[in-house]
Amino acid sequence: MRGATGGLLGGEGLGGGAGSLVSGGLGSLGAGALGGGGLGGVNPVSGLTSLLPIRGLIPPDINPEEYSGQFQGDIVLDEPAIDYMVNQYAMVRSAVVVADVRWPNNTVVWQFNDNDFDEEQQAAIQEGMQLVENNTCIRFRLREPGETVYVNITGNATGCYSMVGYGAVRGMHVLNYAPHPPGTGCLRLTTVVHELMHILGILHMHSTHDRDNYVRIVEENIAPGMLGQFFIAGAQDVSNLGVPYDYLSCMHYSSNAFSANGNVTIEALQEVNGVMGQRDYITDSDWLRINRHYDCPGAWDE
Ligand SMILES: [Zn+2]
């Protein structure tokens, strides 16, 4: 699949050195784009497993979601998402834009996959949901029998990763937390929320369309084949929702993400009063981004 992706998206699609996103758009990750059947037969998830070998090089303090073997580390590309990128590559963007990738009624329907987590691990994940509920108008509701569109929270040992946003055509949405001890790895509270923000439709901070005004991607330090991790989203596909660029966002990657040599791959162009890539807390801007994406009451007042 890596080959297929590389072939289709080539230098311009993924490799151009651009990259990332915030929220809002990426509409085609949602319902619309399935029709064309773009990559028939290709499994976008397994294809990216070529990233997995580098995990052996990961320093122990790294953010695990950066190395979970998916597109941009932890974003699961399903067929609509691949179609989006193929279409973007083909410069027919307007054809694939879908207005809304938000969960209806601000409500994420979810379940735990059977027997994947013990009680403490389940509590750690639900603590993240509670934190989101406490700071936004988002609600999480357990799947009821017969419901076909929902998030299946799995505990495969393959890292932490998630689909982005809501897509009715997906049916079951993928969200995975490797079942680490609560408070560590994928079950660190801020990392739990990081993946929940993906499923709510938020992309990585450093992928937003104007990120080059705030960070410099240092290509010469990026590990071979990893340039695609620094994908930049188009301004027509994502929105910053009027929220300033946030170096401390829990959706930002660390300064040495995907480094080949330990040197920085993401260089801040302004002073950062904290640690880029921190996973100790969720910032006010992170919450505001969710609240504005879902038009929560008061989110646009200031
Ligand atoms: Zn992520």
pLDDT of 2 > 50? The answer is: no
Expressed in angstroms and rounded, the spacing between residue 68 Cα and the centre of ligand 1 is 9
pTM of the model: 0.75
pLDDT band at 6 (very low <50, low <70, confident <90, very high): very low
Tell me what pLDDT residue 28 has: 32
CA atoms within 13 A on the CB side of 159: 25
- Please give the Cα distance from 110 to 291 (Å, whole number): 20
Residue 198 marked ligand-binding: yes
Residue 17 pLDDT? 22
Range name among 39-53, 195-209, 232-246 with the lowest pLDDT average: 39-53
Domain ranges in the chain?
A: 2-293
Instruction: Work out the mean pLDDT of the chain and round it to a whole number.
Output: 75
Ligand 1 centre to CA of 180 (Å) is: 17
Cα(202) to centroid(ligand 1), Å: 9
105 CA to centre of ligand 1 in angstroms = 24
Catalytic residue among 12, 133, 195, 302: 195
Superfamily per CATH, domain 2-293: Collagenase (Catalytic Domain) (3.40.390.10)
What is the rounded CA–CA span in Å between residue 85 and residue 144? 33
Tokens read off for 39:
């990559």
Is 252 flagged in the annotation as binding? no
Q: Give 242's pLDDT tier (boundaries 50, 70, 90).
A: very high
195 is known as an active-site residue: yes
Provide the greatest CA pair distance for the chain.
51
- Rounded CA-CA distance 108/212 in Å is 32
Q: pLDDT of 153-175, one tens digit each?
A: 999 988 898 888 888 888 899 89
204 annotated to a ligand binding site: yes
Q: 44-48, 97-101, 137-141, 241-245 — which is least confidently predicted? A: 44-48
Predicted pLDDT of residue 100:
52
Backbone torsions φ then ψ of 139, nearest 5 degrees: -125, 145
Q: How far is CA 252 from CA 65, 72, 94, 214, 240, in A?
A: 11, 11, 28, 12, 14
